[in-house]
Amino acid sequence: MVLIAPSILSADFSRLKEEIKALEQAGADMIHLDVMDGHFVPNLTFGALVVKAIRKCTKLPLDVHLMVKNPKKMLEWFRDGGADILTVHAESSSNLEALIDQIKGYGLKAGVALNPSTDEQVIQKVLNKTDIIMVMSVNPGFGGQSFMPATLDKIKRIKKMIKKRNILIEVDGGINSLNAKDCVLAGADILVAGTAVFKGGNYQKNIESLR
């Protein structure tokens, strides 16, 4: 069954603990945390202290997506903050393999994210070490963007690259009940959704709609 990872960027931050609990009760499989540094992407969100606070609120896996210019120096911060999955962008480092090794050395699951314009061949050399490939279906940095249909072919190509490796494909950006099925049919295992989960306030109904 496809896993649903609500992005808390769409949550009410004035009552974040209650929002996390509501997502847990609504059937979320993990919590997706978009960390932006204002350099790698133009937006700025939150750091390891917020992740650490959320860790105290839930037993769900914390899926930390690092949209940052220098992930190497930050990995330890988010490990200590309670992350279960650390995903770094292929575009953020000239030594992607070293980042993956560092994350795996912490005993965490390692993910690699690809921007829409990034060719999937860049992940070929780290496939034997990676747990998750995150396919960005919007340009990273802002929520509420529309899904890019070309992502579906990219998912299919990555699925072929993976072959029998135990790697999950995660899709992030513009996911809703209209395109979720297409993503899963293309090969997606995890769907990240912000607006689609939080809209209207009925989180359980929205999550079930995505499934």
Q: What is the pLDDT of residues 4-32, one digit of tens each?
A: 999 999 999 999 999 999 999 999 999 99
What superfamily in CATH does domain 3-210 come from?
Answer: Aldolase class I (3.20.20.70)
Q: Which residues contact 71 (CB under 8 A, 6 or more apart)?
A: 88, 89, 92, 93, 99
pLDDT value of residue 102: 97
Rg, Å, the chain Cα set? 16
Neighbour order of strands in the sheet with 132-136: 3-6, 190-193, 168-172, 132-136, 109-114, 85-89, 62-67, 31-36
Choose, from 34, 37, 63, 131, the residue flagged as catalytic. Answer: 34
Average pLDDT, the chain: 95
3-state secondary structure of 155: helix
Query: What's the rounded Cα separation, in Å, for the pair 113 and 123?
Result: 9
Query: What's the rounded Cα separation, in Å, for the pair 30 and 187?
Result: 19
pTM flag (> 0.85): yes
pLDDT value of residue 197: 97
- Confidence band, pLDDT 50/70/90 cuts, at residue 145: confident
Query: What's the rounded Cα separation, in Å, for the pair 91 and 96?
Result: 9
Per-residue pLDDT for 142 more than 80? no
Q: Where are the domains of the chain?
A: 3-210
Q: Tens digit of pLDDT for each residue in 146-202?
A: 899 999 999 999 999 999 999 999 999 999 999 999 999 999 999 999 999 999 999
Choose, from 29, 63, 131, 172, the residue flagged as catalytic. Answer: 172
pLDDT value of residue 143: 66
Per-residue pLDDT for 141 more than 90? no
pLDDT value of residue 1: 87
Q: Let me know if 29 is a catalytic residue.
A: no
Q: Let me know if 34 is a catalytic residue.
A: yes
3-state secondary structure of 107: coil
